Structure 1
């Protein structure tokens, strides 16, 4: 075999090699040009390329610190705050760094940042807790999540609900009523569900109905019901459900006891017993039902059918501001009724939506001013706990609000543990200004660093007074909050209102005329005092 080539063969081989090299270079060149054109559509590590695009000529190296864990413990973990993802409702700006802070229970839950879509807000009165809630509700309505304010006592959220073209129902003596035994406007539609789902849905609504009745009877009777009395109430509700073609009311319950219905006698374990046994075992229930009846101190507020059904296709609020602020018991009783009624209605809606009978809608339930209910009857914490657990299982988001952890410190350790569990189970915690003594209670539920405690307590101080004008400045903690997610470091933020929000956030509108007169009188007094000082100066100079 010959390994030699003649001159012609050598020239041919050389030409072929050059062609291959040139073809490879051209392919590479075309690929580089294509990548360069594509790169012009995105900025590089130093910014956009080209004249006038702000491309960084030199990138400063980051500061590196080397040390032991004892020496650099202040750098990690960051005690002053952590990075918050840009997910959810824009709540405000970071207190020290200025970048936007976004958070809300539904968005964080959908992004797997929290385990359940719930938010608990704590803070002294007047520092902006309701403003945070209104900001979340305003954005939620635009995103398709419907706000349900199940008891607005001041009111704080009524103006926002009306601005969203929602329905506001005023509840109170001489106004609309909410039947404590009403299972909601969608109860009849549950018969369209499959048999198994229908049974589960009706049992859920019976649980809401039973919880509402027992909680209200305990609150009105000023003592817990005995096991026998709870059995009588539960059996009576089942009897009424099967015998009536409408929602029962408390007078129906009283009639069953007065007529000694066989099922009620059996439930009271008085069958075959002397007549006095049944009377003794049901006397307390009879007294409380008469108190809640039309001849009792509350009139027909709890003894007639619901005046205006809840709306589940648009924002909704129960306005309880007509109830006297001094009547804590009535406020708590109406809160119990509205919370149970709203939760039952949403539970039915979720069941029907899963079966594609009605459009699927997500609701966020606002439970504000919890301290009023707990102050009236600490045992109502168990009712709140039951409602909150059911809301999570049926897919509702919820926002709970009260002033301090002391509001949740109840008469005995068992009730206190249940109340603090509401805070502990919350996916998100928003803290406003709190007193120093509150830190110990809060630390038992959420871990707080020393820097976070100092920040929160500094926000609780009062605003200073201008000696010249006599006007007090805003408190240092106005609109300042600490966002806590589990054991992670908190994120300090300050809320920033837009012009559109300012009108619905004016909760002192009823004082507008009095405030205008006060400021006018104050300004006139300052002008007169200044004129008197000028006249005195001229006389002394003369």
Structure 2
């Protein structure tokens, strides 16, 4: 008995050490006890996604994914970690998750709205869709279009001009169409010219044309189009329209009701003649609409109208130029669709971008109607669309009461809403158009909070490149480190907003109808960062080397 007791005592001593008895089994967190390696905290596993064919051998461990995987890759689900793919064209055409191929982005400044738009443009361009930025007021998308091999059409005083009577390639296509299609396209072109000139005059006058003036404008355009014909090498200009008005043709006199009196004709058309003179370069618009367009639109390439040279204070010119750019874009899409209907070209898909919507809607009368028409007819035109603004209050900031109701309908009709950080005070107005639970509202309000008060400079916190970038199989670690050491990029890389971003930067909630939103974190790849297409604060990141005169003694410019 004494030997048995001693053996039990030795067994207890062995149990108290790091050795594990054979009778014990590991729990969910490992062996419990001192030095036995029990896991106090379990890190969540990174989820991967694949098709049934790819992961069938892992049964029963796989489970169904919670978000669509078709479309442009945006980022990872904040809850499950799975990849999220989203764009309005794919979700409409392939998945049929939305009834309208349009998206509306909304978030406070600096949280990544434009980056999401550029990610969609780059992804859809790879899928064969052509991005069209019809009026880049701040010049944020110019570099992206250049990287995609597209055309940048610069407009501004002394920089470039655009002809309101330009056909934008429609006449060349009309010559190849069947007679019925040709007549339809020419009628569409005539209506667009008449509507555009009338809108430009309305922006200048601050009031629309009366019925008689609209009839006179319509007949002047008809006479001018008969003179040029389908074989004209160049489209007519505004000076040609003014010449027709002064020539007093019988077709125009019939609708002017001048009763055969030249004096009465001149009195009736005096106001319209003065407006034509303004568009010919004699007024506040300058030479913007006075001659031929300085650039041509290629319907097979991405393009952007760069309006960053037009100052914010010149609201009338900006509104008139935006209206002309929209008409140009619609003309290109219409002509391309008709050519595809007749089998002349392959069907092309276009993705129209309207960033900084608040600036566009407030630029002048008539622009709300243009955007409103696009949200209603984009399915028939075969185009996708994305719009972005800061808050729902921006849509209520237009001057005219009727335009406010139309602007609110724009948000309601968009197929999907992508929401970022917003103030809690905006939630009552937002929930009138978007169904949000209280938890989703709290999440959006939390995403607008700033970063931590301390940036880490006063402590011993050291940041590594892994805090900024995640390596991929496409870019080697050596290439990333080489780029990080480039002095030209140093200031952006060292920017604390990149290393310690606000909690809501790059985080968005994708909402479709009343379904629960998909929270996603949009992460930029090293290739995107090195290209600089998402850097909208270049003037804050200018390095000293760029501010020194070449060949000088180092003095600042």
TM-score scaled by length of structure 1: 0.76
Provide the secondary structure at the position in 2 that maps to 1:198. Answer: helix
Cα offset, 1:454, TM superposition = 2.0
Which shows bigger deviation, 387-396 or 153-162?
Answer: 387-396
Of 510, 525, 537, which aligns to 1:483? Answer: 510
State the alpha-carbon separation in 1 of the partners of residues 274 and 452 from structure 2.
53
Aligned pairs (5 A) from 1:141-540: 141-244=125-228, 245=232, 246-268=234-256, 270-272=257-259, 278-279=265-266, 281-409=268-396, 410-466=398-454, 469=457, 474-502=501-529, 503-513=532-542
In structure 2, the residue matched to 1:92 is 75
Provide the secondary structure at the position in 1 that maps to 2:163. Answer: coil
Provide the secondary structure at the position in 2 that maps to 1:101. Answer: strand
Provide the secondary structure at the position in 2 that maps to 1:192. Answer: coil
State the alpha-carbon separation in 2 of the partners of residues 85 and 220 from structure 1.
48
Aligned pairs (5 A) from 1:35-74: 42-43=56-57, 45-46=59-60
Cα offset, 1:139, TM superposition = 0.9
Do the aligned partners of 1:343 and 1:387 also contact (CA within 8 Å) in 2?
A: no
Do the aligned partners of 1:88 and 1:108 also contact (CA within 8 Å) in 2?
A: yes
Which shows bigger deviation, 160-169 or 455-464?
Answer: 455-464
Do the aligned partners of 2:160 and 2:294 also contact (CA within 8 Å) in 1?
A: yes
Cα offset, 1:41, TM superposition = 10
In structure 1, the residue matched to 2:97 is 113
| Equivalences, count | 447
Structure 1 residues 100 and 280: CA distance shift in structure 2, 3 A: farther
Which shows bigger deviation, 175-184 or 82-91?
Answer: 82-91
Cα offset, 1:250, TM superposition = 2.3
State the alpha-carbon separation in 1 of the partners of residues 361 and 423 from structure 2.
20
Do the aligned partners of 2:74 and 2:86 also contact (CA within 8 Å) in 1?
A: yes
Structure 1: any 5+ residue segments left out of the alignment? Answer: 1-38, 48-55, 60-81, 519-542
Structure 1 residues 40 and 508: CA distance shift in structure 2, 3 A: closer
Do the aligned partners of 2:258 and 2:268 also contact (CA within 8 Å) in 1?
A: no
State the alpha-carbon separation in 1 of the partners of residues 419 and 287 from structure 2.
40
Cα offset, 1:144, TM superposition = 0.9
RMSD: 2.9
Aligned pairs (5 A) from 1:24-39: none
Provide the secondary structure at the position in 2 that maps to 1:399. Answer: strand
In structure 1, the residue matched to 2:23 is none
Do the aligned partners of 2:170 and 2:331 also contact (CA within 8 Å) in 1?
A: no
State the alpha-carbon separation in 2 of the partners of residues 40 and 314 from structure 1.
36
Do the aligned partners of 2:245 and 2:273 also contact (CA within 8 Å) in 1?
A: yes
Do the aligned partners of 1:184 and 1:310 also contact (CA within 8 Å) in 2?
A: yes
State the alpha-carbon separation in 2 of the partners of residues 262 and 459 from structure 1.
65
State the alpha-carbon separation in 1 of the partners of residues 252 and 200 from structure 2.
20
Do the aligned partners of 1:215 and 1:380 also contact (CA within 8 Å) in 2?
A: no
Structure 1 residues 139 and 467: CA distance shift in structure 2, 3 A: closer
State the alpha-carbon separation in 2 of the partners of residues 359 and 234 from structure 1.
34
Q: Which runs of 4+ in 1 moved over 4 A?
A: 39-42, 273-281, 467-473, 514-518
State the alpha-carbon separation in 2 of the partners of residues 419 and 344 from structure 1.
23
Structure 2: any 5+ residue segments left out of the alignment? Answer: 1-52, 459-495, 548-557
Do the aligned partners of 2:448 and 2:503 also contact (CA within 8 Å) in 1?
A: yes
Structure 1 residues 224 and 437: CA distance shift in structure 2, 3 A: farther
Cα offset, 1:276, TM superposition = 6.2
TM-score scaled by length of structure 2: 0.74
State the alpha-carbon separation in 1 of the partners of residues 245 and 374 from structure 2.
28
State the alpha-carbon separation in 1 of the partners of residues 369 and 293 from structure 2.
25
State the alpha-carbon separation in 2 of the partners of residues 138 and 432 from structure 1.
21
Cα offset, 1:428, TM superposition = 1.5
